[in-house]
Chain A
Amino acid sequence: MFADWPLLSLVIWTPILGGLAVLSANSESQKTVARGLALLFSILTFVLSIPLYTAFDTSTAAMQFVEGPIAWIPRFNIYYHLGVDGIAMPLILLTSFMTVLVVLAGWEVIKQRVAQYMAAFLIMEGLMIGVFASLDAALFYVYWEAMLIPMFLIIGIWGGPRRVYATLKFFIYTFFGSVFMLVALLYLHFQTGSFLIADFQNYHMGMTPQLLIFLAFLVAFAVKVPMWPVHTWLPDAHVEAPTGGSVILAAIMLKLGAYGFLRFSLPITPDASQELDWLMISLSLIAVVYVGFVALAQEDMKKLIAYSSIAHMGFVTLGFFIAWRIFDNTGSLSGAAMGIEGGIVQMVSHGFISGAMFLCVGVMYDRMHSRQISDYGGVANTMPTFAAFMVLFSMANTGLPGTSGFVGEFMVILSSFKANFWFAFLAATTLILGAAYTLWMVKRVIFGDVANERVAALEDINKREFLILGLLAVVVLLFGLWPAPLLDVMGPTVNNLLQHIMQSKL
């Protein structure tokens, strides 16, 4: 029944137009209206995005739910052209799901300029989905950049004491990366006469242009992921952002960089990617090991989770760029496919888990107005239900089997054994490091004796918070125990991608 609906356009434009509608309830007296409208539109978007999964054809790697191409800017051959494959579709669902939770999470917490807050998140949701669904590079770039505007405002208006510094750093860092991508895209447009990503992927070029284009893409995507050493904006942005902003940043915005590698870097410049895979693998392993140690030393819970995000995203990029080594060692694509699939599973799973972790910190921050680990202790005594959730998500963050965190990490470590023992060895240290920094934090915050009077006065989570964390717990366990649906969806797409990138374009 959904076959002839423009589903993707609906999922992109419902939240954007809904956000504008929410803005109209801007006055102080209309706060409830603004919240209600925002929830309505976010749920509507999520409902509209469900058919993307149910009607998805898992037997093909072709783009589905295709819309257009409709001529948008004829002078530059720019089209409004949408479609999703097995990589983009799960990320769109992740986005629409997390936005509902973020709207709920900001329900009573945000008291200032509620309408603007809700509208910013809704508009950002539409723009992020647009990034995942664009098949035209110019359209992609418009969504990619426009997304910075609501995030800039979210951190800057509702953020913490150093919010201006953090948000300017965030904007300028990401803008810096993106403009180099713009130059690369314009070069590709000049060469191919088109802006369609598919045309870029089929364009053959020599090693030098490939390397330059790869590096231009790398700057853009590495900042977004973020990879070491261009990760420094992330801890600042996370610490200063309101809870909702942190959730969206960690759950979705970081995934955009990884998605960019899959959509642009690998298929457009496969030879350069292979040539420089040592660089990518090294940066990923540094992220896993070094940033893991950095996380261990954090005093601030949000900062700790931010560094843990960087380490987890290191797994994602590692899974993507070991493909050639595995192929050289084993001669089959299935091992390489596992690495990439593991990376994608990790992306989705990390979206849920990091979102959940930030929401947990948000719950405590709303009550205590502190994120310092040392201000807490023995929270389990006063907030038992909350402590159960927090422990569950922390376990998932360390990659406990049975949670979704395990599946992706396990697949990446397993496939990196086929590439090189030492890659696997270094990657596996995360099992220790991740457990160390996460569980140590849990031990200091949740367990032990009640640390002070303020902790003693804490109230357990209310129904709204229970609903948010409960939904996330269900999803985390579901994908941990039964990841097959996710793997089925992405299987053909990943195989197709691998076949494409294993052919030299020289």
Chain B
Amino acid sequence: MNFEMPNFLPALPEIFILGMACVLLLIDLFLKQQERYLTYLFSLFTLLLVAVLTIYGYGGERLTTFNGTYVADSMSQILKLGVYFAVFVVFVYSKDYLRDRDMFKGEFYMLGLFGMLGMMIMISAHSLLTLYLGLELLSLSMYAMVAMQRGSTKASEAAMKYFVLGAIASGMLLYGMSMIYGATGTLNLDSIASHAATADKTLMAFGLVFLLVGVAFKLGAVPFHMWLPDVYQGAPTAVTLYIGSAPKIAAFALLVRLLGDGLLNLHDQWQSILIILAVLSMAVGNIVAIAQTNLKRMLAYSTISHVGFLLLGILTGTQSGFSSSMFYALTYVLMALGGFGMIMLISRKGFEGDLLDDFKGLNKRSPWYAFMMLILMFSMAGVPPFLGFWAKLAVLQEVIAADMIWLAVVAVVFSIIGVFYYLRVIKLMYFDEPDSEEQLECSTDMRLMISANALMVLGLGLFPGSLMAVCAAAFSAT
């Protein structure tokens, strides 16, 4: 048996992050608390370097390596850049928050980077096993992050829930994978695709169902969403920001790799499952969000409804449908970063700022940030000219092109319901009087970052062409 040396180059970003995360762990060990900002700067530096590596290290062609278990294509390049960006923003936003709460420790950055490594592996996975490894690396990092605030019972409860339900989901996913392996005799996604037509139909169908249940758990699609609001609310906001942003990109990649690369032949079967998941998610997410008084919880339900929209593009099973969903995922992450970022902006030491009422009269206290929040909320509601509108338009266009006009109508009806709770935030900021006249206190980098974040939502909303073209190119190449 001869051993062939695999080509390491396509996986260079992953290898780099693994190395840097370990170096970070070592460096952090020798830093005093007042020097901790070096850890922070080091992680930001790592993210910039890996972005450069990803941009220049990829030639444009589709490469597989490690015996076909790993793939680098233009989709993976763009999604990884999106993930780096999201994690970068998370780190910047959370610095003050963590410092105020005695959580400014190396672990946050170390776990954040390892979680990101998991996402990168999911994005580039080309076999069921790699997918699962990436997903578990991400999940374990996130469980630990949720539990990081050791003194908080709420955070411990959230972490416990997250861990138990997440473990069940992983079990489901693994069970589904084993069935598909049993039916096709392979773990490689390309081989699964070519064997799917001849494989045992019943076994494949069961495998598919378990697979989708697992994925729906991770995504937070209804009816497997129960953990999501509790975890979002219970976790420290910095961690919620992390969980609510970048992993959505990875989850999108997971779905596309599984369903698009591996099981496209079973499209008829998974389409109907996804329709149910999507409609239920949009319904429950939008309706239950109305009743929330906690902004983090409200945004959690809003996430559920956005996941429903995201599924709409994927369920068409076409390349352009995938690219629309990819656009939606990237757009959503940008908006979620801004939304949770605003909570951290108005929070102070000893004041979480996560209640809806905490936003009362923000326009009086700070017109600029009220305007930023207005942009984000209208964008999430899907009102033009903001980016969120184009994401909805792109997805709805694909649904109509797939001849499912009724589904498009259902989607827009739920988005009308959804508009109400976004408007309520704006109502609180603009129409109500503030409870306190206190000025917002936060550092300049946070201020700049959140302004840039919201203005990106506006700017990309005015000129969405380039981002759409990038997403379209990611799928036309393969």
Chain A proximity mask over B390-415: 1 for CB below 8 Å, otherwise 0: 10011011001100010011001101
Residues of A within 8 A of B415 (CB): 179
Residues 79-119 of A contacting B (Cβ, < 8 Å): 113, 116
B472 interface residue (CB < 8 Å to A): yes
Contact of B472 among A75, A141, A186, A187 (CB under 8 A): A75
Known: A75-B469, A172-B420, A189-B397. A145 touches B430 (CB 8 A): no
A207 interface residue (CB < 8 Å to B): no
**Assembled-state Cα–Cα distance A138/B363 (Å):** 31
CB of A505, distance to nearest CB on chain B (Å)? 20
Are B389 and A172 neighbours in the complex by a CB distance under 8 Å? no
Known: A75-B468, A187-B400. A179 touches B412 (CB 8 A): yes
**Assembled-state Cα–Cα distance A166/B468 (Å):** 37
Residues of B within 8 A of A183 (CB): 396, 400, 405, 408-409, 412
Contact of A146 among B384, B394, B397, B409 (CB under 8 A): B384
Known: A145-B383, A183-B412. A156 touches B397 (CB 8 A): no
Residues 141-189 of A contacting B (Cβ, < 8 Å): 141-142, 145-146, 148-149, 152-153, 156-157, 163-164, 167-168, 171-172, 175-176, 179-180, 182-183, 186-187, 189
Contact of B416 among A142, A167, A176 (CB under 8 A): A176
B367 interface residue (CB < 8 Å to A): yes
Known: A73-B464, A149-B378. A182 touches B396 (CB 8 A): yes
Residues of B within 8 A of A187 (CB): 400, 405
CB of A216, distance to nearest CB on chain B (Å)? 9
**Assembled-state Cα–Cα distance A153/B377 (Å):** 14
Residues 410-441 of B contacting A (Cβ, < 8 Å): 412-413, 415-416, 419-420, 423, 426-427, 430-431
Known: A156-B427, A183-B405. A168 touches B420 (CB 8 A): yes
B6 interface residue (CB < 8 Å to A): no
**Assembled-state Cα–Cα distance A183/B400 (Å):** 8
Are A175 and B397 neighbours in the complex by a CB distance under 8 Å? no
CB of A149, distance to nearest CB on chain B (Å)? 6
**Assembled-state Cα–Cα distance A275/B82 (Å):** 51
Which chain B residue lies CB-closest to A179?
B412
**Assembled-state Cα–Cα distance A142/B463 (Å):** 12
Q: Which DSSP category, helix, strand, loop or mixed, fits chain A's interface?
A: helix
Are B469 and A74 neighbours in the complex by a CB distance under 8 Å? yes
CB of A233, distance to nearest CB on chain B (Å)? 14
Contact of B383 among A26, A74, A149, A164 (CB under 8 A): A149
CB of B399, distance to nearest CB on chain A (Å)? 9
Residues of A within 8 A of B472 (CB): 75
Q: Which DSSP category, helix, strand, loop or mixed, fits chain B's interface?
A: helix
B350 interface residue (CB < 8 Å to A): no
A466 interface residue (CB < 8 Å to B): no
Are B427 and A76 neighbours in the complex by a CB distance under 8 Å? no
Known: A172-B419, A176-B416. A72 touches B465 (CB 8 A): yes
Known: A146-B384, A164-B427, A190-B400. A116 touches B367 (CB 8 A): yes
**Assembled-state Cα–Cα distance A182/B430 (Å):** 28
Residues of B within 8 A of A189 (CB): 397
A276 interface residue (CB < 8 Å to B): no
Residues of A within 8 A of B419 (CB): 171-172, 175
Residues of B within 8 A of A71 (CB): 465
CB of A162, distance to nearest CB on chain B (Å)? 11
**Assembled-state Cα–Cα distance A313/B115 (Å):** 60
Are B416 and A179 neighbours in the complex by a CB distance under 8 Å? yes
Chain A proximity mask over B451-471: 1 for CB below 8 Å, otherwise 0: 000000000000111001100
CB of A45, distance to nearest CB on chain B (Å)? 20
Known: A171-B423, A180-B412. A142 touches B384 (CB 8 A): yes
Are A182 and B393 neighbours in the complex by a CB distance under 8 Å? yes
Residues of B within 8 A of A164 (CB): 427, 431
B385 interface residue (CB < 8 Å to A): yes
CB of B411, distance to nearest CB on chain A (Å)? 9
Are A73 and B465 neighbours in the complex by a CB distance under 8 Å? yes
Are A157 and B405 neighbours in the complex by a CB distance under 8 Å? no
Are B465 and A157 neighbours in the complex by a CB distance under 8 Å? no
**Assembled-state Cα–Cα distance A157/B430 (Å):** 6
**Assembled-state Cα–Cα distance A153/B408 (Å):** 29
Known: A76-B397, A182-B412, A186-B396. A26 touches B367 (CB 8 A): yes
Residues of B within 8 A of A113 (CB): 363
CB of A217, distance to nearest CB on chain B (Å)? 14
**Assembled-state Cα–Cα distance A163/B463 (Å):** 34
Residues of A within 8 A of B423 (CB): 152, 168, 171-172
**Assembled-state Cα–Cα distance A141/B385 (Å):** 9
Known: A72-B463, A168-B423, A190-B401. 8 other contacts (CB 8 A): A116-B367, A146-B384, A149-B374, A156-B430, A157-B363, A167-B431, A182-B396, A187-B405
Give the top 7 A-B pairs by smallest Cβ distance, nearest first. Answer: A179-B412, A142-B384, A73-B465, A75-B468, A156-B431, A145-B384, A186-B400
Would you list 8 pairs from A and B whose C-beta atoms are within 8 A, ordered by A residue?
A149-B374, A153-B430, A157-B431, A168-B420, A168-B427, A172-B416, A186-B393, A190-B397
Which A residues fall within an 8 A CB radius of B?
26, 71-76, 113, 116, 138, 141-142, 145-146, 148-149, 152-153, 156-157, 163-164, 167-168, 171-172, 175-176, 179-180, 182-183, 186-187, 189-190
